[in-house]
């Protein structure tokens, strides 16, 4: 089945960009980033930026924007029969040249998992703003259960802070 991503959550003054691969089935059905109840994304965002799952979605979005955090996906569309990144084919990347031109203050790029990292390296890394750094972070997907929530939070904090120096 062909699926399409969402527009980015991003204000012009964003300094951090977090990139996933493509919203999963629960997110597509809800029309919200990271809507699967077992996805660790919002608990991690709560620990790092005060945008936790206890807030309504619109409040989480506002909290990220206030923290100068943007959220998007590396793919604008793809074919995927379910929610697993391993099943993605026919990748169509997002327009990173236009995004970075519109968001010139991006200095840190966090890649949510290996698929996001691989696709961004192929299609987006060449367009990164000068001086920006990127970190491959453990996937927040419930399919990536090798790490506890606490370990994911620590890895995300370390990865994003390392980029800050």
Mean pLDDT, the chain, integer: 91
| Torsion angle defined by CA atoms of residues 6, 9, 15 and 19, in that order, rounded to the nearest 10 degrees | -30
Rounded Cα distance between 136 and 150, Å, is: 17
Q: 149-158, long-range: CB within 8 Å, 24+ apart, which pairs?
A: 149/40, 149/43, 149/44, 152/40, 152/44, 153/40, 153/43, 153/44, 153/47, 153/48, 156/44, 156/48, 156/110, 157/47, 157/48
Burial class (CB in 10 A: 0-12, 13-18, 19+), 135: middle
> What are the pLDDT digits (tens) for 64-120?
999 999 999 999 998 888 766 677 778 899 999 999 999 999 999 999 999 899 999
pLDDT tens-digit map of 109-133:
999 999 899 999 999 999 999 999 9
According to CATH, what is the number of the domain 2-162? 3.40.470.10
Question: What pLDDT is attached to residue 109?
Answer: 96
* Residues contacting residue 138 through CB under 8 Å, at least 6 positions apart: 113, 144, 147, 151, 152, 155, 156
Domain boundaries, the chain: 2-162
């Amino acid at each position: 089945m062909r699926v399409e991503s969402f527009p980015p959550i991003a204000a012009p003054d964003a300094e951090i960009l977090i990139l996933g691969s493509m919203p999963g089935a629960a997110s597509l059905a809800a029309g919200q980033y990271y809507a699967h109840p077992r996805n660790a994304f919002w608990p991690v965002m709560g620990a790092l930026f005060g945008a936790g799952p206890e807030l309504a979605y619109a409040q989480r979005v506002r909290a990220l924007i206030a923290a100068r955090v943007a959220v998007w996906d590396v793919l604008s569309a793809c074919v995927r029969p379910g929610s697993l990144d391993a099943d993605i084919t026919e990748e169509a990347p997002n327009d990173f040249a236009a995004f970075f031109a519109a968001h010139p203050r991006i200095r840190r790029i966090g890649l949510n998992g290996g698929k996001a990292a691989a696709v961004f390296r192929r299609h987006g890394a060449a367009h990164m703003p000068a001086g920006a750094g990127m970190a491959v972070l453990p996937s927040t997907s419930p399919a990536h259960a090798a790490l506890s929530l606490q370990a994911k939070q620590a890895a995300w904090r370390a990865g994003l802070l390392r980029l800050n120096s």
